């Protein structure tokens, strides 16, 4: 009899963990919660738009997001959000409008998966990065976004070559 109770208890917790959005995983928030935390902490946001059937979404999780250097940098500098881009039975609010996850992906103009949206500290979309990036390339994207090089009109290519130093300062 105790074995049956244990199995029932275990089944309950497994079911509960799926119902609570376990897709988000460690360090990842669901949309509304992540947006709230980002506003409280005044941090930029990284949104991972994914689907269940997307092979490269899984590789991104297993290779890039699991890389310790990438993970540590994301944890320190970004609020991370996962959005199941085909979900229609949920609801979240972004900039005063309510969307389900599929509509939210459309609002961010996601056309393929994975897609990574970067929001600034004011929760405005900075850019959408499509596709898989290996850890060594992705860490550079994270640093470029964190250093806000885009506000200095420094392209990503220039950043890779010279860092985020404002080129107009050198010409003065």
**97 vs 16, more confident:** 97
Domain 20-133 has CATH 3.40.30.10: yes
Q: What is the per-residue pLDDT for 166?
A: 60
Interacting residues of 100 by C-beta distance below 8 A, sequence separation 6+: 87, 88, 89, 90, 91, 92
Q: What mean pLDDT is predicted for residues 149-167? A: 88
Q: Compute the mean pLDDT over every residue in the chain, rounded to the nearest whole number.
A: 86
Q: What percent of the chain has pLDDT over 70?
A: 81
Give residue 16's pLDDT: 33
Please name the residues in contact with 13: beta carbons below 8 A apart, sequence gap of 6 or more.
Answer: none
Note the pTM of the prediction, 2 decimals.
0.81
pLDDT in tens, 76-106: 999 999 999 999 999 999 999 999 999 999 9
Which of the four pLDDT bands, split at 50, 70 and 90, describes residue 7? very low
For the chain, the domains span 20-133
CB 90 within 8 A of CB 23: no
Q: Would you state the pLDDT for residue 25?
A: 61
């Amino acid at each position: 009899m105790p074995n049956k109770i244990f199995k029932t208890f275990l089944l309950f917790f497994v079911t509960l963990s799926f119902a609570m959005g376990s897709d988000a995983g460690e360090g990842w928030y669901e949309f509304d919660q992540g947006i709230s935390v980002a506003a409280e902490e005044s941090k930029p946001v990284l949104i991972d738009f994914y689907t269940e059937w997307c092979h490269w979404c899984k590789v991104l999780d297993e290779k890039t997001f699991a890389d310790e250097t990438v993970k540590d940098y994301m944890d320190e500098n970004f609020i991370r959000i996962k959005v199941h881009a085909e979900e229609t039975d949920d609801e979240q609010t972004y900039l005063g409008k309510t969307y389900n996850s599929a509509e939210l992906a459309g609002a961010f103009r996601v056309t393929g998966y994975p897609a990574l949206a970067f929001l600034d500290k004011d929760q405005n979309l900075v850019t959408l990065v499509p596709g898989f990036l290996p850890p060594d390339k992705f860490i550079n994207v994270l640093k470029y976004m964190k250093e806000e090089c885009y506000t200095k009109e420094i392209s990503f290519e220039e950043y890779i070559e010279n860092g985020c130093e404002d080129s107009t300062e050198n010409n003065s």
